[in-house]
Amino acid sequence: MPKPRKTPPAVILSEAKNLHETPSRDPSLQNNKLPQQIKHLTPFTQVYFQQMTTAIPALSQEEAQQIAQSARQLIQTVEQVVLGKTETVRMMVIGLLSGGHLLIEDIPGVGKTTLARTIARAIGGQFRRIQFTPDLLPADVTGSVIYNQRTGQFEFHPGPIFANIVLADEINRATPKTQSALLEAMEERTVSAEGTTYSLPQPFLVIATQNNIEMVGTFPLPEAQLDRFFARVSLGYPSREVEMRILATHQVESPLSQIQPVLSPEQLIEMQKQVRRVYVGSGVRRYLVDLVQATRHHPNIALGASPRASLALLAGAQALAVLSDRHYVMPDDVQRMAVPVLAHRLMTRSDPTGRLVSAETVLREILQQVPVPITGDD
């Protein structure tokens, strides 16, 4: 392999992206021959282009564009209710495409529950809301086995967790015992009761909300449960212009009542399957692992990211690639997904001055330190 020149990675990736074609439709790539139109590029860019095109991705460019179109339609529908938060809504949709659970953490009154309800209504399916309180019991979430006097048998009565979209509102107000009732459901998509395992409906997604201001009467989520959330997002205060629009659109009634489903549960399941077929080169996978490994050895991190976090970051990068109309993952996708996917999973240490370093700050430092691959494969 030729020695790489000091060409900016963004330029090389852009060159390869602009010239990329579906391998099966380009006969000039047979027998590892480069097409004539890329002979003018740098030698290393030619190597990158050849690797990107000879490794045939399972998902075609046309399929990626179809998924992206449906996802953008979902984003536009949600933004009819949640105004001025395009990036947050976009991250929520990436979580949906990745099949992961989402944690919305922010101050009270900025629209956390509204965002969750809007997404649930936009994708159709069965929706349930659970208000978590200190007196909530695990059986109130998963269901109970009750004796039926008519039949003389014990029957299982499913709880509100048996739905496609479950809104766990103010999840940190429940006791650790009740919070643990979600562990099996979130990871295995099943619920066990009296020795019997019951499968949850598909797709199954938990959207949990919690505020980080009111700490009295709350129980922080344990690391084991935080690790089961695909990503953590926040909303923040709206701008002055957006808040004026909120007053105008919500003056008579909430726009949420007018939202109609733009996807069916079956369509969402198929989109999730297709996203997993997005091509990921060995160089990108190695870069992803290097980032995760760096969190386990950083001096300011007490608990690094787990292998589950690696899988979530991979799925998120694939979903972001599709949303960007691509059927292959670039290092930029991994970088953009690193903070929302990894930050809530890390436990940080205090710096020499005694101040606790934020996980977001440490991750951005790691992103600056870990070398970015020049090619998608090596």
pLDDT tens for residues 229-242?
A: 999 988 888 999 99
Per-residue pLDDT at 287 exceeds 90:
yes
Q: Which CATH number fits domain 62-266: 3.40.50.300, 2.40.50.140, 2.170.270.10, 3.30.420.40?
A: 3.40.50.300
Q: What's the confidence (pLDDT) of residue 5?
A: 40
Say whether pTM exceeds 0.85: no
- Radius of gyration from C-alpha coordinates of the chain: 23
Residue 250 reports pLDDT greater than 90: no
Domain with CATH 1.10.8.80 in the chain: 278-378
Q: Which of 178, 272, 166 is nearest to 225 (CA)?
A: 178
User: Mean pLDDT across the stretch 182-192?
Assistant: 89
**CATH homologous superfamily of 278-378:** Magnesium chelatase subunit I, C-Terminal domain (1.10.8.80)
Every domain of the chain with CATH number 3.40.50.300 lies at 62-266
Interval 22-51: pLDDT, tens: 443 333 333 344 444 444 444 434 444 444
**Which residue type occupies 65?**
Q
How many whole angstroms separate alpha carbon 300 and alpha carbon 78? 38
Over residues 368-376, mean pLDDT: 83
Q: How buried is residue 333: exposed, middle or buried, by Cβ count under 10 Å (0-12/13-18/19+)? A: buried
| Average confidence score pLDDT of the chain | 82
